[in-house]
Chains A and B, each alone.
Chain A
Amino acid sequence: MKKDLEKVRNIGISAHIDSGKTTLTERVLFYTQKIHAIHEVRGKDGVGAVMDSMELERERGITIQSAATYCTWKDYDINIIDTPGHVDFTIEVERALRVLDGAVLILCSVGGVQSQSITVNRQMTRYKVPRVVFINKCDRTGANPKRVTAQIREKLNLNAVAIQLPIGLENDLKGVVDLVTMRAIYFEGDNGEIIREEAIPAEMQAEADAARETLLDAVSMFSDELMEAVLEGNPTEEMIHAAIRKGTLALEFVPVLIGSAYKNKGVQRLLDGVVAYLPAPREIENTAYDLDKNEEELVLESDPSKPLVCLAFKLEDGRYGQLTYVRTYQGTMKKGDTIVNSRNGKKAKVGRLVRMHSSEMEEIDEAGPGDIVALFGIDCASGDTFTSPDISFSMSSMHVPAPVISLSIKPIDNKAQGNMSKALNRFTKEDPTFRTFVDHETSETIISGMGELHLEVYIERMKREYNAEVLVGAPQVAYRETITARAEFNYTHKKQTGGSGQFARVAGYIEPLEEGEYEFVDQIVGGVIPREFISSCDKGFAGSLAKGALAGFPVNGVRCAINDGAAHAVDSSDVAFQLAARGGFKEGYLKAKPVLMEPIMKVAVEGPTEFQGAIMGSINQRRGMIIGTLEEGDYTVVEAEVPLAEMFGYSTILRSLTQGKAEFTMEFAVYRQVPRNVADEVIAAAKKAQEKK
């Protein structure tokens, strides 16, 4: 299979929740003839949209996991990743963006640029993803694509210019005017599949002329040829397309398309836009680190004959065994090839190779550069790089945030116990932000993640997919401890209980570390602590960090230094020095003024202006710090930083305060010291809980 790489597009579709991503993807699959009927997300036919393959997703009408889908449009191969819109699942969005070459950012023509769109846009900027904007839901009451375009420029700071104008709006939405071809386009037939082109309606001519001039002004910056042609008055369609493409790829221009996926308007033109303006795999520079050459950074080439480099970006443990989604960047992967996981050097054989279409799949024999495919039976973690055996490259690692919330779960019976372990094993492999461990003191299983909904979804999935019913404890905030002062210690560990004794003395200091979790400093001179026991001290300190003496939470941001000590020729051992270091840490810790730290969330509440006072009041009651407000007409956004501990159950309270008209999003911002009075309560509660054990 020789494929023209210029005709491959790897794109993501991301947006604010409820902007219609899944509906749009469904339409794309319909027009590219991947599916033969359209099912609505919350449709009455009970089938649900194809992309929402998990039962839970269909029921809640939200997309939790991104499913990779492949389709063809006008002999271009398009791989689409449908990404979730809820902030708790951002890791999915980030992972998807890492492997994509371009993206479609969907905005609602009524809601405009909402907080989640800002987050998604920031992520796209971080991964340098060229994007086109699709302003969806133009059939809705209050639709105003012009206002939304202005918001993209202001709030997202993008050079966004409309390349289409709507013909009619809200209920009267009939089609669009293409400002490049200067033709009116109508979408007819039951499913909008018949496209009719006509001259622009006379009453829209002046508006279209003005909008085209704005477009030409903006894009002629990217092409001297176009600029000359514009001055001479004869720009061609090809020149304009080329200039839009150039600006888009350079991340300096964002074409704005409009339509309504639900009403089947504008989707085919969006596909044309994807093909015309978003990059082919070869046009994006991807880099990897050569592990053989001291992690030297090098650029990968989209050449099928080069050694293979691919990235596993998503794992799924389904009914067919473990499925690993990979994106190939360089070289070709064939059935039967041997590939190496560069993280651990493990070899694996490529067995079945498939292209995914939501939960259905298509067998293929090989995958070339730019392909997104799935492998069977490969054991790895997401984010691992696979290469040909002759090279050792690693793609840069992905940004994985630390979990901020945890809760305890307990299986209701023995059967559930086994199923629960299976489920947890799979979820932790699939999702790096979801973690689990057993608290040895209580024998409880603790799961932690990025938010209440994040954990709720996993508990729900355990029940549905693994038949593992669990009792769920109250959510716990992932507090941390840290020290605020320097303190000395000098500890001797001595034991003489018959037989060989134990002896070690360790002296030094602990002090706050500005960045990072832990640092060990060896300032021993003259060999007062023998070389072989230095690492034992390091181990002892590191082991003390798991549980702080203040309230039993993990300790962060500590530098432990040793500068003196003593050893005994017979009685000193690895264990003795580890225990001495632990003793020393304990001695210094309480003197070093330990404090409690808590996760602070960046919260954005959006709602009608009339509720602004109530919203601000509710944030203030939650120890929140209001950063600011943004008022636009009848709509207002309050941005604040609020401790996670105070955010439990906020959605219910917000709903009742605002008659259900406001919504909020939050994401982790920073760890900050807990105020004295609150800290006392938390510490008391933690001590009480420990006593119970």
Chain B
Amino acid sequence: MLKTDLIAKNPMGAFSRDAAGNDVQRMGLVMARPGLGKTAILVQIALDSILRGKQVLHVSIGETLDKTKVWYDDILNDISANAKQEDMADLHLEVSRNRMIMTFNASTFSRPKLEERLNDLIYQDIFRPSCVIIDGMDFSKVDRKTLIDMRDLQKEANMSIWFSAVTLREAQSETVVKHDMPAPCDQVDDLFDTAIMLQPESGDEGKIFLNVLKDTTGCVAPGKSLRLDPTTLVVWGSCF
């Protein structure tokens, strides 16, 4: 009951499934300058898959295991604030079962390493993610080749991969108007199916908007905009 409700109400569902509820695999990107809620958005996208019984691998670069876990716990609590306590315990357990967190140092993470880990999990039948979240990769240091490899991996394994990227502050304002990617992602925009940008409303730091810059899967119309709750960084309630 609680779960179906949560799935139905999650506006981020549009970034992982179509109107009929079928998974739509993609390369996705969430961009923002630091502190606006990239991780929160990624966690909400992950939760949509997890609650539908799919498995999600959350790769966290430069962040600890505990902190990543806390993101999930907090957001789950926020979005199901009125739920009964015993239902929540089951929900948290289910989320832990369908989620695996891998943390890496910025220097140890690489595409071959990720592939090796994925193979470990899949061949031993430990975990089969339908979605991989890669949070904290430094896009200013990533070359195009790496992302092409990632895209190949995404297609081969038939799963979604979502990235977060920190944008440069000065690059934001003018480029977004054209629905183009801001730096440093502007050189690789063709590799992504979906791109989201988080932005504070100009002149009002309290309001944060989620703008869809691009979506080639047809699930969401580019140009759509949603508002984030600035304290919890959660998007909730209204649907696309």
Chain A interface bracket (under 10, 10 to 19, 20 to 34, 35 or more): 20 to 34
Nearest residue (CB) in A for B68 is A628
Nearest residue (CB) in A for B104 is A631
Whether A612 lies near B120 (C-beta < 8 A) is yes
User: Is B209 engaged at the interface, CB distance under 8 Å to the other chain?
Assistant: no
Contacts of A613 in B (CB 8 A): 120, 124
User: Is B97 engaged at the interface, CB distance under 8 Å to the other chain?
Assistant: yes
User: Is A52 engaged at the interface, CB distance under 8 Å to the other chain?
Assistant: no
User: Is A632 engaged at the interface, CB distance under 8 Å to the other chain?
Assistant: yes
Nearest residue (CB) in B for A620 is B126
1/0 contact trace for A596-640 toward B, CB 8 Å?
000000000000000011001100100001111111110000010
Contacts of B104 in A (CB 8 A): 631-632
1/0 contact trace for B96-130 toward A, CB 8 Å?
11001111110110000100010011001111000
User: Is A154 engaged at the interface, CB distance under 8 Å to the other chain?
Assistant: yes
Contacts of A616 in B (CB 8 A): 120-121, 124, 126
User: Is B169 engaged at the interface, CB distance under 8 Å to the other chain?
Assistant: no
Complex alpha-carbon distance, A626 and B125, angstroms = 13
Known: A154-B64, A616-B120. A631 touches B126 (CB 8 A): no
How many A-B pairs with Cβ below 8 Å?
Answer: 60
Contacts of B100 in A (CB 8 A): 626-629
Contacts of B124 in A (CB 8 A): 613, 616-617, 620
Task: Give A492 Cβ to nearest chain B Cβ, in Å.
Answer: 33
Q: Which of A105-161 contact B (CB under 8 A)?
A: 154-155
Whether B120 lies near A631 (C-beta < 8 A) is no
User: Is A45 engaged at the interface, CB distance under 8 Å to the other chain?
Assistant: no
| Candidates B65, B85, B121, B125; contact of A639 at CB < 8 Å | B65
User: Is A514 engaged at the interface, CB distance under 8 Å to the other chain?
Assistant: yes
Complex alpha-carbon distance, A620 and B125, angstroms = 9
- Report which residue of B85, B102, B105 has the largest number of chain A beta carbons within 10 angstroms of its beta carbon: B102
Q: How many residues on the B side are at the interface (Cβ–Cβ under 8 A)?
A: 25
Whether B126 lies near A627 (C-beta < 8 A) is no
Complex alpha-carbon distance, A154 and B68, angstroms = 13
Whether A631 lies near B65 (C-beta < 8 A) is no
Complex alpha-carbon distance, A617 and B68, angstroms = 23
Contacts of A632 in B (CB 8 A): 104-105, 108
Task: Give B79 Cβ to nearest chain A Cβ, in Å.
Answer: 21
Complex alpha-carbon distance, A514 and B127, angstroms = 32
Contacts of A625 in B (CB 8 A): 96-97
Task: Give B134 Cβ to nearest chain A Cβ, in Å.
Answer: 14
Contacts of A672 in B (CB 8 A): 93
- Report which residue of A154, A628, A632 has the largest number of chain B beta carbons within 10 angstroms of its beta carbon: A628
| Candidates B68, B93, B103, B127; contact of A626 at CB < 8 Å | B127
Complex alpha-carbon distance, A514 and B90, angstroms = 13
Q: Which of A620-663 contact B (CB under 8 A)?
A: 620, 625-633, 639, 641
Complex alpha-carbon distance, A628 and B72, angstroms = 13
Whether A155 lies near B126 (C-beta < 8 A) is no
Whether A514 lies near B85 (C-beta < 8 A) is yes
Task: Give B128 Cβ to nearest chain A Cβ, in Å.
Answer: 12
Whether A612 lies near B117 (C-beta < 8 A) is yes
- Report which residue of A154, A612, A629, A641 has the largest number of chain B beta carbons within 10 angstroms of its beta carbon: A629
User: Is B155 engaged at the interface, CB distance under 8 Å to the other chain?
Assistant: no
Whether A630 lies near B65 (C-beta < 8 A) is yes
Contacts of B120 in A (CB 8 A): 612-613, 616-617
Task: Give B164 Cβ to nearest chain A Cβ, in Å.
Answer: 18
| Candidates B69, B107, B108; contact of A628 at CB < 8 Å | B69
Task: Give B135 Cβ to nearest chain A Cβ, in Å.
Answer: 13
Task: Give A637 Cβ to nearest chain B Cβ, in Å.
Answer: 8
Complex alpha-carbon distance, A155 and B103, angstroms = 12
Complex alpha-carbon distance, A22 and B97, angstroms = 40
Whether A633 lies near B101 (C-beta < 8 A) is no
| Candidates A154, A629, A633, A641; contact of B102 at CB < 8 Å | A629
User: Is B170 engaged at the interface, CB distance under 8 Å to the other chain?
Assistant: no
User: Is B86 engaged at the interface, CB distance under 8 Å to the other chain?
Assistant: yes
Contacts of A639 in B (CB 8 A): 65
Task: Give A260 Cβ to nearest chain B Cβ, in Å.
Answer: 27
Whether A514 lies near B86 (C-beta < 8 A) is yes
Task: Give B102 Cβ to nearest chain A Cβ, in Å.
Answer: 5
Task: Give B41 Cβ to nearest chain A Cβ, in Å.
Answer: 20
Task: Give A465 Cβ to nearest chain B Cβ, in Å.
Answer: 41
Whether A631 lies near B86 (C-beta < 8 A) is no
Given contacts A626-B126, A631-B105, 6 further A-B contacts (CB under 8 A): A612-B117, A616-B124, A617-B124, A625-B96, A632-B105, A639-B65
Instruction: Offer 21 A-B interface pairs, CB within 8 angstroms, sorted by A.
Output: A514-B85, A514-B86, A612-B117, A613-B124, A616-B121, A625-B96, A625-B97, A626-B126, A627-B69, A627-B96, A627-B100, A628-B100, A628-B102, A628-B103, A629-B65, A629-B102, A629-B103, A630-B102, A631-B108, A633-B108, A639-B65
Instruction: List the 3 closest pairs (A to B, CB-CB), nearest first.
Output: A628-B101, A613-B120, A620-B126
Residues in B lying within 8 Å of A, measured CB to CB: 64-65, 68-69, 85-86, 93, 96-97, 100-105, 107-108, 113, 117, 120-121, 124-127
